[in-house]
Amino acid sequence: MLVTGSSRGIGRASALYLAKNGYDLVLHCNKNTKMANDLKDEIVSLGRKARVLQFDISNREECKNVLSEDIEKNGLYYGVVLNAGIAKDNVFPVMEDREWDSVLNTNLGGFYNVLKPLVMEMISQRMKGRIITMSSVSGLMGNRGQVNYSASKAGIIGATKALAQELAKRGITVNCIAPGCIETDMTSELPVDEVKKMIPMKRFGKPQEVASLVNYLMSEDAAYITGQVISVNGGLYQ
Amino acid sequence: MTIENEVKELIIKALELEDIEPSDIEDEAPLFIEGLGLDSIDALELGMALKKKYNLKMGSDKEENKKYFYSVKTLADYIRSNVGE
């Protein structure tokens, strides 16, 4: 199965968790090929197969070329975790065009760019597969300084729910995970002590705590769950 | 075999409709939503199968296509008028 943005953070934890549960992995990365290759080695040492695909999810042509070639050569994926995403925080009045564009084109554009080459194949090959998207608490509640990020993550929720409707009859589930504050590079610059006070559980989540949900949604047991947004946020937003 | 029956077999094969026999499909019953309960993604798949079998190309006018895809009979008529018996 394919995990985008798997060189670090939630993507890396998810890929490892899935590998430990017996899945073979296709690891996507944008720039961190070294980290993705290290992860590949780690997964191979667990006795699973893994390969690395490097492309920019905001580049439609590149996604189409790399993914179409890969599935033609190696077979279609059973599961896709659309985890890759970026944040470029700034308060809206001074947000720069490129901050808006890059976040939307990567986070929401990535949904289209990565899934478009795969979904019709899943349909015609009768692959009763799994698609998992990554939203955020910011997409549910809106977060100051993140008008771009919140918009992209809310957009992912709408796209997930709509696609779930289209694919339900085909046994393909499409679900969305909305993590809260998770210990990753993306949250490393937050004022940790202040943020913790706002979280009912008074702590950040671990990437593995999101990965375990990814693993569950991928399983046969989760076949009847589709079109859902499931939060993993220590009670931060209900 | 009539074109109608060919179309029925094609629908069952292309969409992998288990539990359905050609005789279960009525020539004039709607294929989509009612009747067989197909959706627009099934239509895409069916369109691809028709193209493969009859070299039948669908135009870009969605409303026109909807008319051709209404029932087995409308599809068979469309095939006859574009491909010949």
User: What pTM value is reported for the model?
Assistant: 0.92
Closest-CA residue of B relative to A121 is B45
Query: Can you give the residue ranges of every domain in chain B?
Result: 3-19+26-83
Cβ contacts of B48 on chain A, cutoff 8 Å = 124
Closest-CA residue of A relative to B15 is A124
Rounded to a whole number of angstroms, the distance from the CA of A167 to the nearest CA of chain B is 9
- Give the C-alpha separation, A76 to A167, whole Å: 16
Show the low-confidence residues of chain A (pLDDT under 50).
none
**Sorting pLDDT into bands at 50, 70 and 90, what band is B57?**
confident
Predicted local distance difference test score (pLDDT) of residue A189 = 87
Question: Which candidate, A213, A218, A211, A189, places its Cα nearest to that of A9?
Answer: A211
Cβ contacts of A120 on chain B, cutoff 8 Å = 44
Q: C-alpha distances in angstroms, A130 versus A11, A69, A71, A121, A212?
A: 16, 21, 16, 13, 15
Catalytic residues of A: 149
Question: Between 1.10.1200.10, 3.40.640.10, 2.40.10.410, 1.10.599.10, what CATH number should domain B3-19+26-83 receive?
Answer: 1.10.1200.10
| Average confidence (pLDDT) over B6-15 | 93
Instruction: Flag whether pLDDT at B85 surpasses 80.
Output: no
Q: Read off the pLDDT of residues B23-56 as tens digits, 9 standing for 90 and up.
A: 999 999 999 988 888 998 999 999 999 999 998 8
| Average confidence (pLDDT) over B6-25 | 92
- The answer to whether the Cα torsion of B33, A118, A82, A224 is positive or negative is positive
Cβ contacts of B44 on chain A, cutoff 8 Å = 120
Enter the ipTM: 0.80
- Which CATH number does A2-232 carry? 3.40.50.720
Contact A170 B41 (CB under 8 A): yes
Rounded to a whole number of angstroms, the distance from the CA of A145 to the nearest CA of chain B is 40
Predicted local distance difference test score (pLDDT) of residue A144 = 95
